[in-house]
Amino acid sequence: MACGAKHTLYNISQALIQEGDEVIIPGPYWVSYPDQIVLAGGTPVFIMTDESTGFKITPEQLEKAITPKTRYLILNSPCNPTGSTYSKEELAALGQVLLKQEHVLVVADDIYERLIYDGLIFYNIAQVVPELKSRTIVVNGVSKTYAMTGWRIGYACGPKELMGAMTKMQSQSTSNATSIAQKASVEALNGPQDAVAAMCVEFEKRRTYIVDRLNAMPGVSCFKSNGAFYVFPNFSGCYGKTTPGGKKIENSTDFAAYLLEDAKVALVPGVAFGDDRYARLSYAISMDNIKKGMDRIEEAINNLK
């Protein structure tokens, strides 16, 4: 157990990576993945995707990216920032590639596993391909499913030797997560789960609304994801246009700054996740605020020249 899933992932990189090792990261990716690899002396190897493939990598892409230096693959499903979620069949196909590469481990970041929609069933790659169980490290936490971000509890399970190395390293840094947070997390995991199901119902409604609104805006396309609580719309159709204040929108950073300054809407530029065409919006807010935000974004886009 660590001080959040981010801390757990950091422990994995520090315990596993040697100078020159490579780690495969499907993109768009969570912002901390590459930096954690670099800090450990490794090299991130990106497999970029977009909405045309549902933001998922293919077995062919994975096979091509693997080299003798590959240490592990990070597989985040449902994904931050895209919300894309791999099906059982898609995981099985990736698993067949990994079975042939015995030196490659899998880090399964399952932090959004309970936040899944459209009747989709969550699968972990070790469930689908049991032969990979001895090479899979599963990472999870309580921050997303139980809205306990500030409690800072993350955990992992995997090969005993690796878990031991992570524990030794953590004992010389943070020691442990606080006992109060540990007790609260046990209650969240073992207690009634009704709130989680209710939350998913509301998230699904909000996701559908925000995707429909974005896709109706000029110059915008938005993939309808199956998980997490993010949408990752493509705003590149707005690039090259000029704001009412006379500034030209060149990239996702410019677009985000324009929305923040003129529309009072905050989003995260896609460049932070590896693709400058997009931006990330969260729907972990009230429907009233989502509606206000969509109205403001639509007005701001219509004001571009």
Check residue 221 and give its pLDDT: 98
pLDDT in tens, 208-250: 999 999 999 999 999 999 999 999 999 999 999 999 999 999 9
Check residue 98 and give its pLDDT: 98
> CA-CA distance, 108 to 184, in Å (whole number)?
24
Check residue 203 and give its pLDDT: 98
Check residue 220 and give its pLDDT: 98
Check residue 227 and give its pLDDT: 97
Q: How confident is the model at residue 255 (pLDDT cuts 50, 70, 90)?
A: very high
Sorted by where each starts, the structural domains of the chain and their CATH numbers stand as 5-190 (3.40.640.10), 194-302 (3.90.1150.10)
Check residue 218 and give its pLDDT: 96
Check residue 296 and give its pLDDT: 98
Give the 3-state secondary structure of residue 81.
coil
Check residue 63 and give its pLDDT: 98
Cα–Cα distances in angstroms (integers) from residue 234 to residues 190, 245, 298, in the given order: 39, 23, 14
3-class SS letters over 259-294: HHHHHCCCCEEHHHHCCCCEEEEECCCCHHHHHHHH
Question: Helices then strands (H, E): number in the chain?
Answer: 10, 9
* Residue 90, phi then psi, degrees to nearest 5: -65, -40
pLDDT in tens, 260-295: 999 999 999 999 999 999 999 999 999 999 999 999
For residue 280, give every residue at least 6 positions away whose Cβ sits within 8 Å of its Cβ, in sequence order, or none.
81, 230, 231, 232, 267, 268, 270, 273
Q: How confident is the model at residue 110 (pLDDT cuts 50, 70, 90)?
A: very high
Cα–Cα distances in angstroms (integers) from residue 96 to residues 100, 104, 121, 128, in the given order: 7, 12, 21, 10
Check residue 181 and give its pLDDT: 97
Residue 20: Cβ-neighbour burial (10 angstroms; 0-12, 13-18, 19+): exposed
